[in-house]
């Protein structure tokens, strides 16, 4: 088990009362969620907002009018208590198993949370099970290119000052990983794509403050024989020096990269379009390119 679930929930509990102040990425990607849903002509009777934080995506879905009923699942009761809209159903989740019967939802959405799953392949399979046939799964999560600057600066600073490094930032999946997991979980018409967002800060410590406010600080499960050393002021000061030296712009501000992977797939159903079999195409791409070059 990579993550300590209890610690992850405690991080979210601590962030809950002021989460809205740090939810700029959550709001941005919740807006993206609605934009992507508008590409589908469907209206959805019952949607699940999975790992809903304080309800940004749930409220946007409700206001959009494309969903009749919304259930919001958030493992942190303190986060769930911050929902502004008390009419949204909020069932409790005490384990990593989704507390729903098969074929419950027309839509399962999740915004910037699935990267905390200890068993991501199993969770994707559970989501497919709770979807009705021809139901839609649409989600975003942080990918492997997230916070590359901070990772680099922390590793160099800690290695320089202590002669070793401790795990500080969670490992994150790649786009290729997620595309493969969607196929493995049995989704029809699976799609995985990526967007990159750069946020600029006056100081690297403001980035760390934002990560804490988002509830995104590390939550590694303890490992036998592995000691996790706290970050000292010396390491943080040296990290900031390296960060400014390597990743600052001409105006003195530093960059923080966020790679956001978007996933979509449909629960299998009769009558869905099927991808063509390899080699079944009737036209040659090479011939088309050659023809275009001669025209």
Predicted TM-score of the model (pTM): 0.90
Would you state the pLDDT for residue 1? 82
- Does any domain span residue 285? yes
Domains in the chain, number? 1
- Does any domain span residue 84? yes
φ/ψ of residue 276, rounded to 5: -65, 150
d(CA 213, CA 83): 17
d(CA 184, CA 233): 44
- Does any domain span residue 120? yes
Helices vs. strands in the chain: H and E counts, helices first: 10, 6
Summarised one tens digit per residue, pLDDT across range 32-86 is 999 999 888 888 999 999 999 999 999 999 999 899 999 999 999 999 999 988 8
d(CA 61, CA 47): 9
- Does any domain span residue 227? no
Beta bridge partners of 6: none
Terminal-to-terminal C-alpha distance of the chain: 59
Summarised one tens digit per residue, pLDDT across range 141-179 is 999 999 999 999 999 999 999 988 888 899 999 999 999
- The answer to whether the beta carbons of residues 90 and 72 sit under 8 Å apart is yes
| 286 vs 99 pLDDT, higher one | 99
Summarised one tens digit per residue, pLDDT across range 196-254 is 999 999 999 999 999 999 999 999 988 765 666 788 999 999 999 999 999 999 999 99
Domain range for 112 is 5-144+170-200+258-294
- Does any domain span residue 61? yes
DSSP 97: S
DSSP, residue by residue, 74-95: -S-HHHHTT-S-TTSB-----S
Length of the chain, please?
Answer: 295
Would you state the pLDDT for residue 95? 77
- Does any domain span residue 72? yes
Which CATH number is 29's domain given?
3.40.50.150
- Does any domain span residue 126? yes
- Does any domain span residue 40? yes
The pLDDT of residue 256 is above 80: yes
Would you state the pLDDT for residue 86? 83
């Amino acid at each position: 088990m990579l993550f300590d679930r209890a610690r992850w929930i405690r991080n979210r509990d601590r962030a809950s009362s002021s989460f809205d102040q740090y939810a700029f990425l959550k709001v941005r990607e919740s807006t993206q969620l609605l934009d992507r849903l508008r590409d589908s002509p469907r209206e959805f009777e019952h949607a699940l907002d999975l790992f809903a934080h304080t309800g940004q995506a749930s409220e946007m879905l409700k206001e959009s009018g494309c969903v009749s009923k919304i259930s919001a699942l958030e493992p942190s009761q303190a986060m769930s208590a911050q929902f502004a809209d008390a009419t949204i159903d909020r069932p409790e989740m005490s384990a990593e198993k989704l507390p729903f019967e098969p074929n419950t939802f027309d839509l399962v959405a999740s915004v910037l949370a699935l990267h905390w799953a200890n068993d991501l392949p199993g969770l994707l399979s559970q989501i497919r099970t709770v979807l009705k046939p021809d139901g839609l799964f649409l989600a975003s999560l942080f990918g492997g290119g997230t916070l590359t600057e901070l990772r680099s600066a922390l590793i160099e600073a800690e290695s320089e000052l202590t002669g070793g490094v401790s795990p500080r930032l969670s490992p994150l999946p790649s786009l290729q990983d997620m595309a493969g997991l969607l196929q493995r979980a049995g989704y029809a018409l699976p799609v995985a794509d990526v967007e990159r967002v750069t946020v600029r800060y006056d100081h690297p410590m403001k980035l760390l403050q934002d990560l804490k406010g988002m509830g995104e600080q590390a939550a590694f499960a303890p490992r036998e024989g592995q000691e996790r050393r706290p970050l000292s002021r010396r390491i943080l000061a040296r990290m900031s020096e390296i960060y400014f030296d390597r990743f600052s712009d001409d105006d003195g501000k530093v960059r923080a990269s966020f790679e956001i992977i978007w996933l979509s797939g449909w629960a299998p159903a009769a009558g869905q379009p099927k991808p063509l079999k390899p080699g079944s195409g009737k036209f040659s791409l090479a011939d088309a390119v050659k023809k275009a070059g001669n025209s």
